[in-house]
Structure 1
């Protein structure tokens, strides 16, 4: 077997059956939702009968559940290790909270100048930093699992603190500076903050309490090897459930405007490629090891689509273009990030020859660990 073939088998083999076919499940959920919408045209009105804030209760339950397993996975105790890795911490902050949002903002405005709803949806995605699925991509690319865990915990905290501020800034303030008041949305910071507090804050508290309580009761090993493997797949069920209901309301728009889905996909694909490349080569230039470079790059390239969908639904409504942009995101992210795993391993052989000697033992060790199945 050639080296390239062995690498391909290694990457695909480490993905769970569910993760390997994630785009298929999402497409199936979309098709089911469109079918339900055609069969029951009044389904949207029924869903809006009972609401949590501005979101129908059935949708809100799905949004909350798909976030809870993701946040129960985060190792919040790892935040205490940041002081010993201040330089890495600073680079991660720059990439995740300055470069990433600015890049998505620029791509959305350049490629969707005539579609403000989708553009805003993409901006919300750019602000939602990856906090879960990045652990899978990092593991497949043989990055530093410890550093990835720390950065995931850090992003979780920063999203609570800054997501609403940055959302208000990029959606309402910056367009005004560009002289585009006519296409800017009148969205208050409180509107976004309220959605973040509900759909990120509530599952964040629940996830943290679950980890603290069960690790004290049963131990860290039991929590990681017994509890999480059972809880993790339910995050995907929550996502698919939410997609079914959202597409039941958006199905007519999607079948009528398939080109819009293609146009949403293009800036997303460019974002993943450009964000990964800039993070990888910046980290390389700063002299970081391959393991550190891979962790920083995948953390910077990934996004928390669950949060972006939740905020879009909470602020703009389930049938909005902003929500549709969030739903399209995972369809592009999964195949794009898998391709970037292959690219990262190829770059390791070319740019980090000192690390290549440890590649096979590291893969063998990692292959014995079941990959996390939740997303973001």
Structure 2
């Protein structure tokens, strides 16, 4: 790992500290940035998420899907955990902590917002980190590629319905406009952009060109994660 990746925890902590200080000292500026939104989707956050997700989308080879049936056990476990267990477990934990365990510490008007945030988080598997974990554990990169590709395809169609269902179960109004816009902005657009970029790079220099391009834009993704 590079120096930046090795000390990523420190950079994240420093970014959190910097955010707290800047938010306290420049509330007007950050209030204006928070107001740059469409259908409750902040455009500044969208740009940072694109910087984080776009390099990962370039690394995805949907041609690897032809190998999806070669070793189904691991893939089945991943899909069951990601789509049949994790979203519902996260929703249950959110209700448990914000409606019961920490009910006396959380503003009742804010509790549904925290619950909705955890539901959104639980229903969106972080496929970018899968590549990092696979590399750290010396996993099979090709099999990792298959899992990420399948999960991203499922996420395009399953994220909004699952979130809408869980929000409805927890008596939170379903913001369909926000959900649909989020799927388009955070999943569909980066996926299309990454696929087109990968195709162009493969046509010019093959896998080496893809690896070189993703290495150049990797720092932007790391800072966006922070």
TM-score bucket (shorter structure): 0.7 to 0.9
The answer on 1:198 being equivalent to 2:198 is no
Partner of 1:93: 79
Deviation, structure 1 residue 57: 3.8
CA 1:96–1:45 in 2, change beyond 3 Å: closer, same or farther?
closer
Partner of 1:145: 141
Unmatched segments (≥5 aa) in structure 2: 104-110
Over the aligned positions, Cα root-mean-square deviation in angstroms equals: 2.1
Structure-1-length-normalised TM-score: 0.53
Q: Note if contact 1:164-1:190 (Cα within 8 Å) is conserved in structure 2.
A: no
Structure-2-length-normalised TM-score: 0.85
Q: Secondary structure at the match of 1:83?
A: coil
Deviation, structure 1 residue 20: 2.1
Partner of 2:194: 207
Partner of 1:248: none
Q: Note if contact 1:163-1:193 (Cα within 8 Å) is conserved in structure 2.
A: no
Q: If you compute each CA radius of gyration, which structure gives the higher value, 1 or 2? A: 1
Q: Secondary structure at the match of 2:71?
A: helix
The answer on 1:221 being equivalent to 2:213 is no
Deviation, structure 1 residue 53: 5.0
CA 1:214–1:111 in 2, change beyond 3 Å: closer, same or farther?
same
CA 1:79–1:169 in 2, change beyond 3 Å: closer, same or farther?
same
How many residue pairs end up in the alignment?
Answer: 216
CA 1:111–1:68 in 2, change beyond 3 Å: closer, same or farther?
same
Taking the aligned partners of 1:45 and 1:38, their CA distance within structure 2 comes to: 11
Taking the aligned partners of 1:219 and 1:89, their CA distance within structure 2 comes to: 27
Taking the aligned partners of 1:125 and 1:30, their CA distance within structure 2 comes to: 19
Partner of 2:164: 168
Q: Secondary structure at the match of 1:128?
A: coil
Q: Note if contact 1:165-1:189 (Cα within 8 Å) is conserved in structure 2.
A: no
Taking the aligned partners of 2:167 and 2:112, their CA distance within structure 1 comes to: 10
Deviation, structure 1 residue 52: 4.9
Q: Note if contact 1:138-1:144 (Cα within 8 Å) is conserved in structure 2.
A: yes
Partner of 1:33: 19
